[in-house]
Chain A
Amino acid sequence: MNIVVLVKQVPDTNSERRLTDSDHTLDRASADVVLDEINERAVEEALRLQEAHGGEVTVVTMGPDSATDALRKALSMGADKAVHLSDAALHGSDAVQTARALAKVIGTVEGVDLVLAGNEATDGRMGAVPAMVAEVLGLPALTHARKVEVDGSTVRVERETDEGVAFVEAALPALVSVGEKINEPRYPSFKGIMAAKKKPVTTLGLADAGIDAAEVGLANAATTVVEAAPKPPRSGGQKVEDAGDGGVRIAEFLAAQKLI
């Protein structure tokens, strides 16, 4: 079974993240960049499926040249090869443009049975790209998976959202996006790190992937960030005076925050 994993390089959630003043896109220079943590779980899930069913795992990313490091991380975990779509014209692309571009890149990989992705990236947090990619490719989309099983030509998923858990299945080829509860990703071993250096990384420009420059980039995006302000400093919080109903009110507060 051949699997493509969509990955993204994002600013480390441990560092301060901001948008640039000039065009309100992500300021990649101001923070350490890493392979997105939910994507790491998607890679882990792909490797586990490969261990059970064989086949090849290809990681795909769209991003600046530095995003190669995120691909190397996935390769050092055990993925077989990588494709990197990198072109200055892609800067500032929105979710729809990104999904169309990724669909083209996935089209360059032969015999894909399953596309895996994280259900959202920790930077943009749109949570839209995986389903859009499936739409463009005409594949069934099984999103928010907390468990994935492949049985012959069927993929079965436990889909967990705020509304509850649903058991869904589809015929392969399909796209599955995973949530953060799906697994604990492995740490790369030194052997994996060294092997990753020798694994093939194909770098594609727009023309190589058959993408029209007029369809991507900030100037052609359907959405624009008009204004951005830093998040306000933490406020003092909300005090509840206990008039006999303190317990109930705390429970109501936690329920409203979806913590219980």
Chain B
Amino acid sequence: MGATMDHRLSEEHEALRKTVEEFAREEVAPVIGDFYERDEFPYEIVRQMGRMGLFGLPFPEEFGGMGGDYFALCLALEELARVDSSVAITLEAGVSLGAMPIYRFGTDEQRARWLPALCAGEKLAAFGLTEPGSGSDAGGMRTTARLDDDEWVINGTKAFITNSGTDITALVTVACVTGRTENGRPEYSSIIVPAGTPGFTVSKKYSKVGWNASDTRELSFADCRVPAENLLGERGRGYAQFLQTLDEGRVAIAALSVGLAQGCVDESLRYAKEREAFGHRIGEYQAIQFKIADMEARAHTARLAYYHAAAKMLRGEPFKKEAAIAKLVASNAAMDNARDATQVFGGYGFMNEYPVGRFYRDAKILEIGEGTSEVQRMLIARQLGL
């Protein structure tokens, strides 16, 4: 990301964007509808994404990464989500919630053990923060871990955890209350729990409104024991880790939302040029033109918002407010565009055989996941000193 006023992509970022655009169009678009209908996780597509290095985008080459940056990941997410959000969220959660905390907070041993397979997309990692009774209010967390000799003993339940129950899930990083601080507040820490650890149970998939080709599970831990060295980063630093992870994740979700918003424009444009009503193509009517113009304007402004947040992040400047703004406006744009695109398609918009039906079902979660729109407004207001 170059000068402040210039949002042109660098040559490499543009080449990556084009590559992922082509991949999404050629490999994902023709098959993803069937996976979605069957609530099936698309292992082969994920494997191809892995071979392209998408899961390693922001990580250094020494861990099997691509040596790119977080913005490269955002571009890939946008292009995937133009076609399908399930594969986009699989990548988003795999990288920014799964591998990133291990890269950022892990010991050398933890990085060496887990990152190469995660970067290659051969394995997935998940991040267990949300619980049945605590989402936006992470302070309401009830999952506990206590040290018993050399082992953590974990008890509790996590809810809505992406990528946690696939055949290739290697681990879940579990946010736990590990004690009390001196002033009596809960002490939070993150602990790596490998898949298959006794006492760690993955329940069956949720029945979801959207993102149906992605994996989302409830997890339970009953006296689940892992070695003490599975602590991720410092004990008691959990809350700071979650906040940093979530700030970045907001920019990624904003990129994904822009992709969905743009996908709605793409599909509506195509349909408006084809479909006839009252003797004309519907794209010749101002009612449709204005709708599509509004959709394009929303996608464009939301894109600028996430580019700006990503640029500040990469420069190492504070970006909390910009990330919250990007997430807020981009998820709004996705929801509004999905509603309008469905309207442009009329009755066909209500049919699952067209992508816009999928976009409509996939859009709502964007106003909820990784911080609801209300939480984003709260963060913005707080940054303004209110």
Cα–Cα, bound, A180→B358 (Å)? 33
Q: Is the CB of A197 within 8 A of B57?
A: no
- Residues of B in contact (CB 8 Å), total 17
B16: chain A residues within 8 A (beta carbon): 190, 193
Residue of chain B at shortest CB distance from A32: B18
Is A231 part of the contact surface with B, judged by Cβ < 8 Å? no
0/1 interface trace, chain B 12-39, chain A, CB 8 Å (1 if under): 1001100100110000000000000000
Which of A76, A188, A190, A193 counts the most chain B CB atoms within 10 A? A190
Is A108 part of the contact surface with B, judged by Cβ < 8 Å? no
0/1 interface trace, chain A 173-198, chain B, CB 8 Å (1 if under): 00000000000001111111110110
Is B234 part of the contact surface with A, judged by Cβ < 8 Å? no
B61: chain A residues within 8 A (beta carbon): 191
Rounded to whole Å, the gap between the CB of B252 and the closest CB of chain A is: 16
Is B51 part of the contact surface with A, judged by Cβ < 8 Å? yes
A196: chain B residues within 8 A (beta carbon): 15
Is B68 part of the contact surface with A, judged by Cβ < 8 Å? yes
Q: Is the CB of B67 within 8 A of A187?
A: no
0/1 interface trace, chain B 42-72, chain A, CB 8 Å (1 if under): 0000001001110001000100001110001
A188: chain B residues within 8 A (beta carbon): 15, 19, 52
A194: chain B residues within 8 A (beta carbon): 12, 66-68
Residue of chain A at shortest CB distance from B52: A187
Is A159 part of the contact surface with B, judged by Cβ < 8 Å? no
Cα–Cα, bound, A251→B66 (Å)? 52
Q: Is the CB of B23 within 8 A of A190?
A: no
Residue of chain A at shortest CB distance from B53: A189
Rounded to whole Å, the gap between the CB of A175 and the closest CB of chain B is: 29
Residue of chain A at shortest CB distance from B68: A190
Which of A72, A191, A196 counts the most chain B CB atoms within 10 A? A191
Cα–Cα, bound, A188→B68 (Å)? 14
A187: chain B residues within 8 A (beta carbon): 19, 22-23, 48, 51-52
Cα–Cα, bound, A72→B11 (Å)? 11
A73: chain B residues within 8 A (beta carbon): 15
Interface of A: prevailing SS:
helix
0/1 interface trace, chain A 188-228, chain B, CB 8 Å (1 if under): 11111110110000000000000000000000000000000
B57: chain A residues within 8 A (beta carbon): 190
Cα–Cα, bound, A12→B19 (Å)? 14
Option from B11, B23, B67 in Cβ contact (under 8 Å) with A191: B67
Q: Is the CB of A193 within 8 A of B51?
A: no
Option from A76, A186, A197 in Cβ contact (under 8 Å) with B51: A186
Residue of chain B at shortest CB distance from A72: B15
Cα–Cα, bound, A76→B51 (Å)? 14
Cα–Cα, bound, A72→B72 (Å)? 18
0/1 interface trace, chain A 29-66, chain B, CB 8 Å (1 if under): 00000000000000000000000000000000000000
B15: chain A residues within 8 A (beta carbon): 72-73, 76, 188, 193, 196
Cα–Cα, bound, A76→B14 (Å)? 13
Residue of chain B at shortest CB distance from A190: B66
Cα–Cα, bound, A108→B292 (Å)? 53
Cα–Cα, bound, A189→B53 (Å)? 5
Q: Is the CB of B11 within 8 A of A189?
A: no
Option from A72, A189, A197 in Cβ contact (under 8 Å) with B52: A189
Rounded to whole Å, the gap between the CB of A197 and the closest CB of chain B is: 7
Rounded to whole Å, the gap between the CB of A181 and the closest CB of chain B is: 16
Residue of chain A at shortest CB distance from B11: A197
Cα–Cα, bound, A196→B48 (Å)? 21
0/1 interface trace, chain B 199-240, chain A, CB 8 Å (1 if under): 000000000000000000000000000000000000000000
B72: chain A residues within 8 A (beta carbon): 190
Cα–Cα, bound, A190→B15 (Å)? 8
Cα–Cα, bound, A157→B68 (Å)? 39
Rounded to whole Å, the gap between the CB of A18 and the closest CB of chain B is: 19
Rounded to whole Å, the gap between the CB of A30 and the closest CB of chain B is: 18
Q: Is the CB of B12 within 8 A of A197?
A: yes
Cα–Cα, bound, A190→B22 (Å)? 14
Q: Is the CB of A191 within 8 A of B52?
A: no
Cα–Cα, bound, A119→B2 (Å)? 42
Which A residues have a C-beta under 8 Å from some C-beta of B?
72-73, 76, 186-194, 196-197
- Pairs of residues from A and B, 6 with the lowest C-beta to C-beta distance, nearest first: A189-B53, A190-B66, A191-B66, A193-B15, A190-B68, A187-B52
What 13 additional pairs, Cβ within 8 angstroms, besides A190-B72, A194-B66? A73-B15, A187-B22, A187-B52, A188-B19, A189-B66, A190-B57, A190-B66, A191-B53, A191-B61, A191-B66, A191-B67, A193-B15, A194-B68
Which B residues have a C-beta under 8 Å from some C-beta of A?
11-12, 15-16, 19, 22-23, 48, 51-53, 57, 61, 66-68, 72
Q: Can you report 17 A-B residue pairs in the complex whose CB atoms are below 8 A from each other? A: A187-B23, A188-B15, A188-B52, A189-B51, A189-B66, A190-B12, A190-B57, A190-B66, A191-B61, A192-B53, A193-B16, A193-B19, A194-B12, A194-B66, A194-B67, A196-B15, A197-B11
